[in-house]
Structure 1
Amino acid sequence: MKKVILSAALLGLFLVSCENDSPNIDDTVEDFQEVQIDMSDFSLYVDQDDIAGKSANSIEKCVSMKNLEYRLSKNKGLAKKMYDIEYNTRKAIALKNQGKGKPGGGNGGGGSTPTIFEGSITIPVVVNIIEQFSGQVTQNQINSQIRVLNEDFQNNNSNTVGVPSEFAGLVADVDVAFVLAGVNRVVNSKASWGTNDAMKIPSQGGIAPTDPSSNLNLWVCEIGGGILGYAQFPGGSEATDGVVIGTNFFGETNAGGIYGKGRTGTHEVGHWLNLRHIWGDGRCNRDDFVADTPSSDAPNYNCPSYPTVNCRTADMTMNYMDYVQDDCMYMFTAGQNDRMRALFVAGGPKESFVN
């Protein structure tokens, strides 16, 4: 797949948009002048066609970036919207690091230029199940998926004790709680739903999302092609907003094997909260836009030994945004935490979850 190339005209449009969207407040203008935001590395596509994202046994863990490419082709305004979200995310993190703004509180700060949202976040979850026969997805799977999400986003994964000392000081408690808000089920014998969001469209046999401005919608179905799951990044249409997980990889289930411990959900919700794959979907010069994660040039699979060195640094293979098996991923970083929390500030794409 091609790398995004921003023409001079398009880049100018982005910059004009950012200027026009800025509040007309003197201290906000001052913050813009004092904080330099570098967007030169921003990209919306994977870097190389040969980064297939498949393990040796043909499991394709995540196709979020492929789904993004599909969505970009359908929505000509999506690239600009995601650029703006990224710009504001970087601005919020830069202001926090420079001690500007007034972080905290339900309004994401209270200052004219909010920084990172502080405080506990509760996200209601609606599970939309498209099963080939009634009861295929059990209540135990549903309950275990909610529990695993809470463990991972609250730093209660028992395997975190295995984080190497090099990364131990970076482990974050994201302080996000997930609560089950509802379950929708339909029976449909379709063998494969693919990755173009058909499972979200009732006219195609799917289930429409439930109020995505205040709920995380999870779809559980047979995706096909050995795919575990995918998510929509912030900025996309509400009609398709949420996460899709393959039936055998939703919650705790023996059918998922080494990917049957619920961590596909954690990985995909990370994407939904604006995290990229930890290797940046490219070679050593491509980044995941998080300062405290090391550079790498490809995903890791199975359960790698430490250190696994690429791009002259040890890979953070235990990060939830890599492709290792479920038992071997057990941390988010402080930088990833900041990136996720930047979505919840006043005016952010997920502000409605906290206000």
Structure 2
Amino acid sequence: MKQLCLLLFCGTMLLSACSKNDKPATTDESTPDEQPATLVRRCAAADVLQEQLRKDPSLAARMARIEDLAARVEKDKSAYRLLPDGTILIPVVVNVLYRTTAENISLTQIQSQIDILNKDFNGLNAEFGDTTFGAVKAVVGIRFELKNVVRKSTTRTSWGTNDAMKSVASGGIAASTPDSVLNIWVVGALSGGVIGYAQFPGGAPATDGVVIVDDCFGNTGTATAPFNKGRTATHEVGHFLNLRHIWGDANCGTDFVNDTPPHNTSNFGCPSYPHRSTCAGTPIEMTMNFMDYTDDACMHMFTQGQKTRMLATFLTGGGRAGFAQ
């Protein structure tokens, strides 16, 4: 059983960032067993977290309260009224910041991403029928609906992870009613090869949402392999709903979910099954989980524990209660 640790939770990350590069991040605590052959995802959030905590001393306490609620729900689900599958509808506003014609992605590409989110969160993706970890895989039961697309031309060739794309003053687009709308900013590029990041529940409303580069968004148009099946958004929306990376951002760390096996670190590419962890008991790792760092084509599931954790965010005090009204 994975034990809750509020201090670890507050000290890991507020924003989760993934990047594509030719090698794993040098900040990883251990070397992954599966070495990436081409582009990979990796976390780049430590500096962002420190800046968020510096600017908002109350952030750690807010996140700790949300984490405490999630832990109580996991321990005794009968004490909480979790909404049934299909009850939660998440309106989505896609904010497109483009420099070139290609970066001004089509409505078809945008809708393809919404369709993928609906499939991945509802067990409708083609890979969901895989019997691997079949006993714990979950239909989360959250629906997504495109509400609006906001477009803005920019001269920037790249954006950082300081949320400039979310501010009109810095050339970006302001969030639309973030308490009840999922804002996704699609940009041409992020510095350092980052492909996406998300804000966890508890952060500032003005910066709430998900950021993704256009060539990792949806499954058509500018979407490019190995991130051309829309799973970057699925992964980041998982963070938006309080899911941690499956390896807990530490060597054999915790993601605060009981039915995901311990991972010694992140996995890249498409590891062969069974891929065993070096953690105690050498469990088989859930490399196909959306919260690992494997390629889009090789991730396809959330677990029942992850479902409970996400649904807990819609309760009063969970950070996403505005979507359940």
Interval of TM-score (by shorter of Structure 1 and Structure 2): 0.7 to 0.9
RMSD of equivalent CA atoms: 2.3
Quick one: which amino acid aligns to residue 322 of structure 1? D
Relative contact order higher in (CA < 8 Å, ≥ 6 apart): 2
Structure-2 separation of matches of 1:135 and 1:301: 28
Letter in 2 for 1:78: L
Do residues 198 (structure 1) and 164 (structure 2) align? yes
Task: Return the offset for 1:62.
Answer: 4.8
Which segment drifts farther, 47-56 or 175-184? 47-56
| Counterpart position of 1:11 | none
Is 1:77 the counterpart of 2:65 in the alignment? Answer: no
Unmatched 5+ stretches in structure 1: 1-36, 104-108, 110-115
Q: Equivalent residue for 1:172?
A: 138
Q: 8 Å contact 2:41–2:294 — kept in the other structure?
A: no
Q: Map 1:1-355; keep pairs closer than 5 Å.
A: 39=5, 42-46=8-12, 50-51=27-28, 55=36, 57=38, 59-63=40-44, 67-96=48-77, 99=78, 101=79, 103=80, 109=81, 116-119=82-85, 120-134=87-101, 136=103, 137-164=105-132, 167-221=133-187, 222-253=189-220, 255-284=223-252, 286-310=253-277, 311=279, 312-355=282-325
Q: 1:89 to 1:49 in 2, by over 3 A?
A: farther
1:89 shift after superposition? 1.1
Tell me, in whole angstroms, the C-alpha distance in 1 between the residues paired with 2:166 and 2:308: 30
Three-state SS of the structure 2 residue aligned to 1:81 is: helix
CA drift at 1:347: 3.4
Task: State the 1:46 CA deviation.
Answer: 4.6
Larger relative helix fraction:
1
- Mean alpha-carbon deviation: is it higher for 129-138 or for 299-308? 129-138
- How far 1:117 moved relative to its partner? 3.5
Q: Secondary structure at the match of 1:245?
A: strand
Counterparts in 2 of 1:240 and 1:186: CA distance versus 1, 3 Å: same
1:238, 1:50 → 2: CA distance?
29
Contact 2:275 2:285 in 1 (8 A): yes
Contact 2:197 2:236 in 1 (8 A): yes
Q: Which runs of 4+ in 1 moved over 4 A?
A: 46-49, 52-56
Contact residue 109 and residue 219 of structure 2 kept, 8 A: yes
CA distance in 2, matches of 1:64, 1:150: 27
CA 163–328 in structure 1, closer or farther in 2 if over 3 Å, else same: farther
Asked if 2 retains the 8 angstrom alpha-carbon contact of 1:122 and 1:177, the reply is yes
**Do the aligned residues in 1 keep the contact of 2:230 with 2:296 (CA within 8 Å)?**
yes
**Cα separation, 1, equivalents of 2:39 and 2:97:** 24
Gaps of 5+ in 2: 14-24
**Percent pairwise identity:** 43
SS of the counterpart of 2:160? Answer: coil
CA distance in 2, matches of 1:186, 1:123: 23
Structure 1 residue 163: Cα displacement = 4.0
Task: Report if the CA contact (8 A) 1:172-1:331 is conserved.
Answer: yes
Give the 3 Å change call, closer, same or farther, for CA 124–255 of structure 1 in structure 2.
closer
Q: Which one has a bigger Cα radius of gyration?
A: 1
User: Aligned residues, how many?
Assistant: 301
Q: TM-score, normalised by structure 1?
A: 0.79
Q: 1:94 to 1:233 in 2, by over 3 A?
A: same
